[in-house]
Amino acid sequence: MGGIREMINILVVIPARSGSNGIKDKNVKELNGKKLYKYALQNAMQLKQKVDIVLTTNILEILAYGNAVMNPGLSTLHRKPELCKPDVPLAPVLYDAVTIMEERKGYTYDIVVMMQTTSPTLKAETLEHALDVFINRDTDTYVSTRVIMGIHWYYDIMDKIPNYRLSSTERLNRQNLVGEEYYYETGGFFFTRRKWIKEDSFIGKKVYCWQLSKEESIDIDDEFDWMVAEAVLRKREEEYLDRCELGLEKYEQT
């Protein structure tokens, strides 16, 4: 591909398909006064790093909005029907978006960012900081996670085993489970070097789990998640307006 740009080429992919088992049409449903998909899109558009953004979707409303936004870095992709089935994993969706965008733009990307619409409480500054660190680190993949500590059980052949047995025969208090924490993947973001983007995978060999706060790691799968996310966003909005009244911030309509 002949196109050349002076800086690192970064593509942000935001997948959003129609249909949902937990909440009907959740991607275009309003959450605290804003369509769900717009939270991820606005975070991407606020990045200080120069990026291309593509909305890959089969939802006509999102395609129309993306095409109407006056932002030269934003593109839309009407996703193929075979990639919109509920049992299709993210890898082929991501690969399709990246390869099509490279054909459109005429250059190859160095870094691919994937942001899912189901993580509306992720802050723009968190995304930007994590991406800046990733750009300057010798790492293949960053994945947003939340750390979970506590006693959990898993299957070992046909038996159920508590995790504290890995280091002790005694039942320990949650705060004493040092080294027994695990990382739960969120939909906030994936950063991956381009060479790892394949039709069946997008995770490299050197993987780092970026730990999000509990507030920023909410993933919306059902109505309860929706209520929690809406409460968090409403509280943020109230705190922001309070700061504006005190003259600590300049009010900007979002």
Mean pLDDT of 155-165: 63
In a domain, 170, yes or no: no
Residue 149: is its pLDDT beyond 60? yes
Q: Give tens-digit pLDDT for 198-210.
A: 999 999 999 999 9
Q: Give tens-digit pLDDT for 14-70.
A: 999 997 777 989 999 999 999 999 999 999 999 999 999 999 999 999 999 999 998
Q: Give tens-digit pLDDT for 77-108.
A: 999 999 999 899 999 999 999 999 999 999 99
Number of domains in the chain: 1
pLDDT reported for residue 20: 76
Could you give phi then psi for residue 88, rounded to 5 degrees?
-85, 125
What is the three-class DSSP state of 36? helix
DSSP lists the bridge partners of residue 201 as 198
**Which residue range forms the structural domain that includes residue 138?**
10-147+181-245
In a domain, 172, yes or no: no
Complete DSSP assignment for 144-186: EEEEE-S--EEEETTEEEEGGGGT-SSPPPGGG-TT--EEEEE
Place 183 in a pLDDT band, splitting at 50, 70 and 90: confident
Least confident span in 31-35, 54-58, 114-118, 172-176: 172-176
For residue 64, give every residue at least 6 positions away whose Cβ sits within 8 Å of its Cβ, in sequence order, or none.
none
Provide the whole-model pTM.
0.86
Query: Across all residues in the chain, what is the average pLDDT?
Result: 88
Task: Please tell me the distance from the alpha carbon of residue 136 to that of residue 131, in angstroms, as a whole number.
Answer: 9
In a domain, 161, yes or no: no
pLDDT reported for residue 211: 95
The encoded tokens of residue 145 equal 């996670």
Q: Give tens-digit pLDDT for 217-237.
A: 999 999 999 999 999 999 998
Tell me the CATH number at 207.
3.90.550.10
Percent of the chain with pLDDT over 70: 80
Could you give phi then psi for residue 247, rounded to 5 degrees?
80, 15
In a domain, 192, yes or no: yes
In a domain, 3, yes or no: no
